[in-house]
A = this chain, B = another copy of it.
Amino acid sequence: MDELKILNRVLPGLKYGSEVVLPPGDDCAAIRQTPGMLLLAAVDQLAENVHYLHSGTTAGEAGAKLLKRNLSDIAAMGGIPRHCLIALAADKNRSDQWICDFLSGAAGAAEKYNVSLVGGDLCALTAAAGGDGVGLVASLTILGEVEAERLCRRDRLEAGDGIYVTGCFGNSYRSRHHLDFEPRLREGRFISGRYSRCMMDVSDGLALDLRRMLISSGLCARVDERAIPLREGADPAAAWSDGEDYELLFSVPAAAEEEFLSAWPGAGGGFAPVSRIGTAVAPETDENGNRKAGMIYDLSGKEIKLEHWGYEHK
């Protein structure tokens, strides 16, 4: 399944009510709810042996991950999560106990992050011929809210902005970070409060997600690779492309950077560390007069080339 190709065929035909401030394409959709307040909504799936390995992952860990990866999407909009709904489909070999543990894992995480689980659906997988299906997949729809003036979008980067990340990158699978991460909700609220209008979450790899932000915003970036914080066991290539980091990538306008860095609560305030990894720059014009957004340069101005860019949704 080529997700990008499918979306490129289906998305352009969609029509939205005028209350849809932000249609699909960002971490969440944003819908005008009351004057000054937006409803945030996103759906994400967790497929066994794609997003976690059945072997070595408890059902409760998998359920909690399903919720937390959706919380990361709310954090990236600068918002507050409120409600969720879960759908789960499994083949007949999955025990009711496993499914209960999965749902309890999600419900426990929901309680921890003050999210109400308000709906759900369970069903059995079958095969095309009508026989038994094989596999397990769950989807979660997260609902949240954010003040309209705090909404952070991925297409709001401006040339000259500092580019920042929370936490560290790479080696998420072996370190089990992909299961035990903390969604950056507090950090997202702090950032959206006064310092940024441009943010997204990094789940498919820093290189790929940074490039998405750059292309959305029509810009390029100059990045100090040595400034990218590495998770234990990760080298720079892994930090660029492993994915499943669930950290925030955001911009701070140059004029606000000093104040931002001195105000960041840090570990003492229960916050993840924050790192300035680069600067947004205008795209260069090529020999044909085209401006190519999405390029990532090192400090010397040389294009950074990577063997892997991240998880490409194919």
Contact = CB atoms under 8 A, between A and B. Distances in A.
Interface stretch (A28-36, A188-196, A218-226, A240-248): A28-36
A122 B34 contact: no
Contact of A87 (B9, B45, B91): B45
A96 B2 contact: yes
Contact of A92 (B1, B15, B33, B99): B1
Contact of A45 (B17, B44, B94, B121): B121
Nearest to A26: B119
B137 A125 contact: yes
Given A17-B82, A34-B34, A128-B54, A118 B29 contact: yes
Interface in A9-37: 9-10, 13-17, 19-20, 23-24, 28-29, 31, 33-34
A306 interface: no
Interface string A35-54: 00001011111011110011
A55 to B, nearest CB: 9
A228 interface: no
A5 B96 contact: yes
A83 interface: yes
Contacts of A2: 96
A50 B19 CA distance: 35
A119 B29 contact: yes
Interface of A: 1-3, 5-7, 9-10, 13-17, 19-20, 23-24, 28-29, 31, 33-34, 39, 41-45, 47-50, 53-54, 82-83, 85-87, 89-94, 96, 99-100, 103-104, 107, 111, 114, 116-130, 132-137, 139, 141, 143, 313
Nearest to A33: B33
B43 A87 contact: yes
Contacts of A44: 87, 121
Closest 9 CB pairs of A and B: A133-B135, A87-B139, A29-B118, A141-B141, A125-B135, A43-B85, A49-B126, A89-B137, A134-B134
Contacts of A48: 126, 128
A45 to B, nearest CB: 5
A128 B6 contact: no
Contact of A128 (B15, B93, B111, B114): B93
B127 A134 contact: yes
Contacts of A85: 29, 41-43, 141
A29 B100 CA distance: 21
A20 to B, nearest CB: 5
B141 A43 contact: yes
A259 to B, nearest CB: 34
Contacts of A134: 125, 127-128, 132-135
Contacts of A121: 43-45, 139
30 contacts: A1-B94, A1-B122, A6-B103, A7-B122, A9-B100, A13-B104, A14-B107, A17-B82, A17-B83, A19-B82, A24-B120, A29-B118, A31-B82, A31-B118, A33-B34, A41-B85, A43-B87, A43-B119, A43-B139, A47-B133, A48-B128, A49-B130, A53-B130, A54-B128, A89-B137, A123-B137, A127-B134, A128-B136, A137-B137, A139-B139
